[in-house]
Amino acid sequence: MANPLLLIFAALAVLIALVLLWGALKKMLEWLVTLAINSVLGLIMLYVLNSLGLGIPINYVTLLAIAIFGLPAVAILAILSFFKMI
């Protein structure tokens, strides 16, 4: 039969690993939700600004910037487009 103390340490190790895994998954899910919200809000604002005639190009670079940084990226792109820098 296995040593009871060894079983307790193994159970604690598994419990600690599960808690760490849960924390990592929770953090990753929060990051993905934030990324999705930034993307949706940024794309809505990009559509509105393009409807107003600002003419921000829609390509992989602008979409990636909007997905990561959200509304601040849209503001920077709008400023750059206003001054004809993009």
pLDDT of residue 77: 93
Quick: pLDDT tens for 3-17: 889 999 999 999 999
- Is the distance from CB of 42 to CB of 70 less than 8 angstroms? yes
- Is the distance from CB of 15 to CB of 43 less than 8 angstroms? no
Residues in the chain, total: 86
Angstrom distance (rounded) from CA 61 to CA 51: 20
Angstrom distance (rounded) from CA 83 to CA 69: 21
- For the chain, the domains span 4-82
pTM: 0.70
Angstrom distance (rounded) from CA 69 to CA 53: 23
pLDDT of residue 58: 86
- Is the distance from CB of 31 to CB of 70 less than 8 angstroms? no
